[in-house]
Amino acid sequence: GQQVMQIPQYQHVQEGEDFTTYCNSSTTLSNIQWYKQRPGGHPVFLIQLVKSGEVKKQKRLTFQFGEAKKNSSLHITATQTTDVGTYFCAGASGGSNYKLTFGKGTLLTVNP
Amino acid sequence: SQTIHQWPATLVQPVGSPLSLECTVEGTSNPNLYWYRQAAGRGLQLLFYSVGIGQISSEVPQNLSASRPQDRQFILSSKKLLLSDSGFYLCAWTPGRYGYTFGSGTRLTVV
């Protein structure tokens, strides 16, 4: 079945440093989504990418979808303590049943 | 606006006891509904999903079952809990091929 790999598993940064997490799928995706889960909380939807090579920005966050629609990245510029949490990518394949396969996530900790 | 309710927030159950977790969605109709489980420090594992009343698809054969008795109600059940059923159970919905909205989750500890 479809697998979504995400690296790194953990990332610790100093406040103000940049952060990137990468996501790779074993199959071509119809879309990819990113979620953030704060410690003790539930995942919250951040964004969906659909088009090959698509790049979207949300303030300090930049999301990219690869040309082959099998990989994606999330880049945070100048991290803040509020960025702490686990970032998950989730891929959807084609077909009539819409279900997401989640990566294992990257836990980001930020040292103030 | 749409909201999703999931309860209880925490649950401690003995091995061999039954389980019933409920999830309801308000403000929408015919949502796609999902049950995920998250083990400590790990990713999200899809357990069941439903595209309509009475329609349940199981992703992982295990000690759990799901039902959708009403359009906006999704129930996760077990007849006899195992220690390995412990985890963080999350219900989610989407109107279609869009992002999921998750409930606040149930932390289940089987003792």
Residues in A closer than 8 angstroms to B57, CB to CB, are: 97
User: Nearest chain A Cα to B56, which residue?
Assistant: A97
Distance from CA of B64 to the nearest CA of A (A): 19
User: What residue type is B10 in one-letter code?
Assistant: T
Q: Which residues contact A4 (CB under 8 A, 6 or more apart)?
A: A23, A24, A25, A26, A89, A90, A91, A101, A102, A103
**Contact B40/A at CB under 8 A:** no
Residue-by-residue pLDDT tens, chain A, 112 positions: 778 999 999 999 999 999 999 999 999 999 999 999 999 999 999 999 999 999 999 999 999 999 999 999 999 999 999 999 999 999 987 665 678 899 999 999 999 9
Residues 6+ apart with CB under 8 A from B68: B33, B50, B52, B53, B54, B55, B56, B74, B75
What's the burial of A108, exposed, middle or buried (CB within 10 Å: 0-12/13-18/19+)?
buried
Question: Is B98 part of the contact surface with chain A (CB cutoff 8 Å)?
Answer: yes
